Chains A and B, each alone.
Chain A
Amino acid sequence: MKKINVIGLGNILFGDEGFGVEAVRLLEKECTDLPDSVQFIDGGTQGLNLLDYIESADIVLIFDAIIPPDFDRKVYVYADGELPGFIHRKMSSHQMGLSELLSVARLHGKAPEKIVLVGVPPRELELGSGISLEVQELLADAVGEGKKFLGSVVND
């Protein structure tokens, strides 16, 4: 059975930035019948520390707030090659993002065989807890996309 890591990314103290973490919490609650090969991980803003969770899995499903090219209010799903890897110029080690982790995993030759990102564009990024109403309305769709994907790979 393939090892699957489901990772929620984001800072729950910055409004919709916490979308990824919230979506994975919900998904885990709704998925009660999955085998132990599926792990749910609150990735927070851990950056570099998450590299192992990406490189050690066969399949990775990530939830994160995203800046899509067209910024429609909808759930975006990207897979494998559609996910860009970048190494950014940074001011501090706090700025290690998903794009950098992906590029490093690829350069290491340890990128997972399948990787899917479920994302929504944020509406509010103000300091404070909770997700905006608009993003809350997209949560069910996002969780649905996650379930659909997990269903298609869990028995691989």
Chain B
Amino acid sequence: MAKKIVVDPIPRIEGHLRIEAKIGENNVIEDAFSSGTMWRGIEIILKGRDPRDAWAITERICGVCTTVHALASVRCVEDALGIEIPKNARIIRNLMNATQQTQDHLVHFYHLHALDWVDVVSALKADPKAASGIAQSISPWPKSSPGYFKDLQQKLVGFVESGQLGIFSNGYWGHPAYKLPPEVNLIAVAHYLEALDFQKEIVKIHTVFGGKNPHPNYLVGGMACAIDPNRNTAINIETLSMVKKIIEDTKTFIEQVYIPDLIAIAGFYKDWLYGGGLGNYLCYGDFPEKSIDDAESLLWPRGAILNNDLSTIHDVDPRDLSQVTEEVSHSWYTYSNGDDKGLHPWEGETKPEYTGPKPPFEHLDTDNKYSWLKIPRWKNNPMEVGPLARVLLAYAKGDPMITDTVNMALGKLEVGAEALFSTLGRTAARGIECLQTAGFMMHYYDQLVDNIKTGDLRTANTELWDPSRWPKEAKGFGYTEAPRGALGHWIHIKGGKIEDYQIVVPSTWNASPRDANGNVGAYESALRGTPMADPELPLEILRTVHSFDPCLACASHVFDMNGKEITKVTIA
């Protein structure tokens, strides 16, 4: 009988994603089930509230990608009410969005995902001089002397020898699926620490334009920040030059550290091309150069790709009631007219109905309902969203920057474009995209300074602020490309209040359970067919799931004095 592996955060302590995988012959994953184990419920909280407050409430869905829901929310309210935002507001929103993408991708790669590829303990065996040689051969980044790596290695050794902490005790260190030589592991550990130090600088841009971070301030009609080159209390020349310095440093770090590391690491894993999955990709697009309604002006295009066919790009219209739908055949909700019937978010319902096993339990009933995530589909197709979807779409459309960077990476790795359809491809796409968004940051900084120079200091349009000037009833759609993928907010306003609000988040697309037709979601599909070196230590599952950058609701963070691992793995 097939073995079943469960990867689950310890109930009630951490996180809210659970994977159950069936392991067949030769330890290959036969099937996988992805379950969201917590309900969000924000849609119900929003009912009856002021639409102008929705951004502040939805923004708090997530403290990691902290701006994306605010952005999608103000856009959907502005769409419903027909509000045009000033040019400065558009530019500042784009700059903040590019900042969020860049910071998020950098943190994801070094902080969350690197340990799926990098064996920290192996770094102890590295020759610091050889590590320095490798580092200097792949990048002009200055922190690369033999002494620098030797110091770090000695610190690592000191930690292990001090005995007081098991800093490295919880990894899958020494796992056969790790392929990097000790020197590359040492370089990666060095950059893991540098990136942690560095990422906190990037988000200072959010504090300049949004007043605080996390959860910077937005405003229906524009942005809640004043620009005045001559005042200390507004965005002025001094703050702008600080922003510019941060952008320049960020770009350098991505160019000289992230991208060379990515290519160096990928070079040792280019035979491990599992985890492609669905082959269906969906993007709403983002970074409008003109109005948000003008899909032609988006620097990140809108469109869909089916069955890995890059020669055909399908048009996407999230307002079309037949395109984006959600059903709940395998989700713990119920619909008035049948759980199998997909509903467009403007017609959406949020009625929770838990029918799963009573905790604590060993396995979910995966034949029936098994997740708190609904089942979003585009024209009935399960879709992957996120960096790989966006990079593939831009590549298929011939975007020059993306095409050049993808071809550079493929050339250096000596692999064909088919290698993109994999876990490694997803990880590489995130890095390529990060390089692009760091460029966007400078692009929007320049746009902002140029526009201020014309004398235009306006950041908000408040003509329609007062609800007495609103239509009695209106519907709106707001979108963004969050770091994790296409994000949509759909609102129905009635009598000045929120009648209905539906949010379809990127991780609902990617982590969705199977639908009524038996089509599996993106995680589930990506895990199928992956061979495991050791099912007791399912590094390969974590690697592929992490490559999507799962977004889970903020949970609790109890400090465990015993240093127990917080993600539980059980096998039955």
Chain A residues engaging chain B, CB cutoff 8 angstroms? 9-11, 14, 17, 44-49, 51-52, 64-69, 76, 78, 81, 84-99, 103-104, 106-109, 117, 119, 122, 125-126
Out of A84, A106, A119, A125, name the residue touching B556 (CB < 8 Å): A125
Q: Which chain A residue lies CB-closest to B545?
A: A91
Could you list 11 further interchain pairs (A-B, Cβ under 8 angstroms) beyond the known A10-B556, A88-B566?
A: A11-B555, A64-B559, A65-B558, A76-B561, A89-B115, A89-B565, A90-B566, A94-B64, A98-B557, A107-B156, A125-B12
Bound form: Cα–Cα A51–B565 in Å: 21
Interface bits B169-189 vs A (CB < 8 Å: 1, else 0): 111100000000000000000
Q: How far is the CB of A66 from chain B (nearest CB, A)?
A: 5
Bound form: Cα–Cα A94–B214 in Å: 13
A49 and B214 within 8 A (CB): yes
Out of B107, B115, B156, B170, name the residue touching A48 (CB < 8 Å): B107
A-B contact pairs, 25 of them (CB 8 A): A11-B555, A17-B556, A45-B554, A45-B555, A48-B107, A65-B556, A65-B558, A84-B165, A86-B167, A86-B169, A87-B115, A89-B542, A89-B565, A91-B9, A91-B546, A91-B550, A92-B549, A94-B63, A94-B555, A95-B14, A97-B557, A98-B559, A107-B156, A122-B558, A125-B558
Bound form: Cα–Cα A99–B546 in Å: 21
The 5 closest A-B pairs by CB, nearest first: A17-B556, A67-B560, A14-B556, A86-B563, A66-B559
B196 and A51 within 8 A (CB): yes
Out of B155, B170, B567, name the residue touching A86 (CB < 8 Å): B170
**Residue B311 interfacial (CB < 8 Å):** no
Bound form: Cα–Cα A107–B545 in Å: 28
Bound form: Cα–Cα A44–B549 in Å: 22
**Residue B25 interfacial (CB < 8 Å):** no
| Inter-chain contacts of A89 with B (CB < 8 A) | 115, 170-172, 542, 565-567
Q: How far is the CB of B374 from chain A (nearest CB, A)?
A: 19
**Residue B133 interfacial (CB < 8 Å):** no
| Inter-chain contacts of A69 with B (CB < 8 A) | 561-562
B64 and A103 within 8 A (CB): no
Bound form: Cα–Cα A93–B110 in Å: 11
A99 and B159 within 8 A (CB): no
A48 and B557 within 8 A (CB): no
Chain B residues engaging chain A, CB cutoff 8 angstroms? 7, 9, 12-15, 17, 63-64, 107-108, 111-112, 115, 120, 155-156, 159, 164-172, 193, 196-197, 199-200, 213-214, 542, 545-546, 549-567
Out of B159, B558, B559, name the residue touching A117 (CB < 8 Å): B559
Q: Which chain B residue lies CB-closest to A104?
A: B196
Bound form: Cα–Cα A68–B563 in Å: 10
Bound form: Cα–Cα A80–B120 in Å: 24
Bound form: Cα–Cα A64–B556 in Å: 11
| Inter-chain contacts of A85 with B (CB < 8 A) | 159, 165, 167
| Inter-chain contacts of A95 with B (CB < 8 A) | 9, 14-15, 557, 566-567
| Inter-chain contacts of B552 with A (CB < 8 A) | 91-92, 94
B542 and A87 within 8 A (CB): no
| Inter-chain contacts of B551 with A (CB < 8 A) | 92
| Inter-chain contacts of A47 with B (CB < 8 A) | 557
Q: How far is the CB of A110 from chain B (nearest CB, A)?
A: 9
Q: How far is the CB of B550 from chain A (nearest CB, A)?
A: 5
Bound form: Cα–Cα A52–B203 in Å: 13
Q: Which chain A residue lies CB-closest to B116?
A: A89
Bound form: Cα–Cα A108–B542 in Å: 27
Bound form: Cα–Cα A97–B559 in Å: 7
Bound form: Cα–Cα A93–B214 in Å: 14
Out of B112, B115, B550, B561, name the residue touching A84 (CB < 8 Å): B561
Bound form: Cα–Cα A47–B112 in Å: 13
B558 and A99 within 8 A (CB): no
| Inter-chain contacts of B200 with A (CB < 8 A) | 48-49, 51-52
Q: Which chain B residue lies CB-closest to A86?
A: B563
| Inter-chain contacts of A94 with B (CB < 8 A) | 14-15, 63-64, 552-555
| Inter-chain contacts of A96 with B (CB < 8 A) | 111
A87 and B556 within 8 A (CB): no
Given A84-B165, A85-B165, A88-B565, is A93 in contact with B170 using a C-beta cutoff of 8 Å? no
Out of A44, A49, A86, A108, name the residue touching B165 (CB < 8 Å): A86
Given A52-B200, A85-B165, A87-B168, is A9 in contact with B556 using a C-beta cutoff of 8 Å? no
Bound form: Cα–Cα A45–B542 in Å: 23
| Inter-chain contacts of B7 with A (CB < 8 A) | 91
A48 and B559 within 8 A (CB): no
Bound form: Cα–Cα A88–B171 in Å: 7
Bound form: Cα–Cα A17–B558 in Å: 7
Q: How far is the CB of B369 from chain A (nearest CB, A)?
A: 20
| Inter-chain contacts of B156 with A (CB < 8 A) | 107
A93 and B108 within 8 A (CB): yes
Q: How far is the CB of A1 from chain B (nearest CB, A)?
A: 25
Q: Which chain A residue lies CB-closest to B14?
A: A95
Q: How far is the CB of B360 from chain A (nearest CB, A)?
A: 14
| Inter-chain contacts of B556 with A (CB < 8 A) | 10-11, 14, 17, 45, 65, 125
A93 and B554 within 8 A (CB): no
Given A94-B64, A95-B15, A95-B566, is A9 in contact with B557 using a C-beta cutoff of 8 Å? yes
Q: How far is the CB of B435 from chain A (nearest CB, A)?
A: 20
Bound form: Cα–Cα A46–B62 in Å: 11
B167 and A103 within 8 A (CB): yes
| Inter-chain contacts of A10 with B (CB < 8 A) | 556-558
Q: How far is the CB of B332 from chain A (nearest CB, A)?
A: 15
Q: Which chain B residue lies CB-closest to A19?
A: B558
A91 and B562 within 8 A (CB): no
Q: How far is the CB of B484 from chain A (nearest CB, A)?
A: 10
Q: How far is the CB of B558 from chain A (nearest CB, A)?
A: 5
A46 and B17 within 8 A (CB): no
B165 and A92 within 8 A (CB): no
Given A49-B200, A107-B193, A108-B197, is A92 in contact with B112 using a C-beta cutoff of 8 Å? yes
Bound form: Cα–Cα A10–B196 in Å: 21
Q: Which chain A residue lies CB-closest to B115?
A: A89
Q: How far is the CB of B416 from chain A (nearest CB, A)?
A: 32
Name the residue among B165, B166, B552, B557 with the largest chain A CB count within 10 angstroms: B557
| Inter-chain contacts of B64 with A (CB < 8 A) | 92-94
Out of B168, B170, B550, name the residue touching A92 (CB < 8 Å): B550
Q: How far is the CB of A34 from chain B (nearest CB, A)?
A: 24
Bound form: Cα–Cα A117–B552 in Å: 27
